[in-house]
């Protein structure tokens, strides 16, 4: 078994615990966080053992409750994200409905504060596709950035607040860089942490990362730039942003 690295909408409950087993939904333990540069294939049928033996992002605050995030390969050229919760070794819920469009979405990171019952997930997006009800825009409508924006193809971050009890997306924001022509450019998450009354994303941003007012930094040197941006807990407002080599 691999060692866990603890650095720490319609509802689609595809998995549930055995009806005869009692699941305590109250979380305990310390803040845990993990972000990876890649994503792993998971399914609603994955056992906890299979998840722990994969390279998927998995966090646990107490070695009893586990959250895992990755993607499903739904066609030869399309991936959709998946998020799962396990309690006492059994699957409690599996969510596959965060993005079901032609956007190539994956899950890359998680952070959990069990004391405040706060869970955030990092997804990726390569561009909005068609009906907003089938992609991340439906829960980013009040976010700092409500959509991918112009262009398509560049992989950006979608940061979402998730209800740990059922996997519901509560709020979200896109996090994109911007090319000189206005098109979205790549942002790759590298870390998540909680700050005073907010959540902080660490990332590698290509030309050019955004300031809190959504305008772009002026940067010197070559991409990527080490980028840090903090949001309020509802992900509606950016609180602070910085990028090394940029002003």
Report residue 26's pLDDT band, with 50, 70 and 90 as the boundaries. Answer: confident
- Among candidate residues 195, 198, 183, 185, the one with its CA nearest the CA of residue 231: 198
pLDDT for 93 beyond 90: yes
Stronger pLDDT, 91 or 11, i.e. the higher one: 91
Q: Which of 17-26, 49-58, 116-125, 156-165 has the lowest mean pLDDT?
A: 17-26
Q: For residue 191, give the DSSP letter.
A: E
pLDDT score for 24: 59
Strands (E), 26-182: 32-35, 57-59, 65-75, 78-87, 90-95, 106-113, 118-125, 156-162, 169-175, 177-178
Domain ranges of the chain: 32-243
Over residues 136-155, mean pLDDT = 98
pTM for this predicted structure: 0.92
């Amino acid at each position: 078994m691999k060692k866990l690295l603890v650095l720490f909408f319609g509802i689609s409950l595809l998995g549930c615990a055995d009806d005869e087993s009692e699941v305590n939904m109250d979380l305990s333990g310390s803040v845990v966080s993990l972000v990876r540069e890649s994503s792993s294939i998971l399914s609603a049928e994955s056992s906890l053992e299979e998840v722990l033996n994969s390279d998927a992002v998995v966090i646990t605050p107490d070695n009893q409750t586990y959250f895992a995030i990755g993607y499903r390969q739904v066609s030869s050229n399309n991936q959709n994200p998946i998020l799962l919760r396990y309690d006492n070794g059994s699957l409690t819920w599996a969510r596959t409905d965060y993005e079901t469009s032609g956007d190539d979405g994956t899950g890359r990171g998680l952070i959990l504060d069990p004391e405040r019952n706060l869970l955030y997930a990092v997804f990726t997006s390569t561009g909005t596709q068609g009906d907003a009800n089938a992609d991340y825009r439906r829960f980013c409508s009040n976010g700092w950035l409500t959509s991918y924006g112009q262009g398509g193809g560049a992989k950006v971050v979608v940061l979402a607040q998730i209800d740990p009890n059922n996997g519901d997306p509560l709020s979200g924001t896109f996090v994109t860089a911007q090319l000189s022509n206005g098109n979205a450019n790549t942002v790759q998450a590298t870390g998540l942490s909680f700050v005073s009354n907010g959540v902080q994303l660490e990332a590698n941003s290509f030309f050019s990362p955004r300031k809190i007012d959504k305008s772009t930094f002026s940067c010197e040197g070559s991409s990527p730039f080490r980028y840090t941006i903090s949001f309020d807990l509802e992900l509606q407002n950016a609180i602070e942003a910085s990028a090394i080599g940029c002003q």
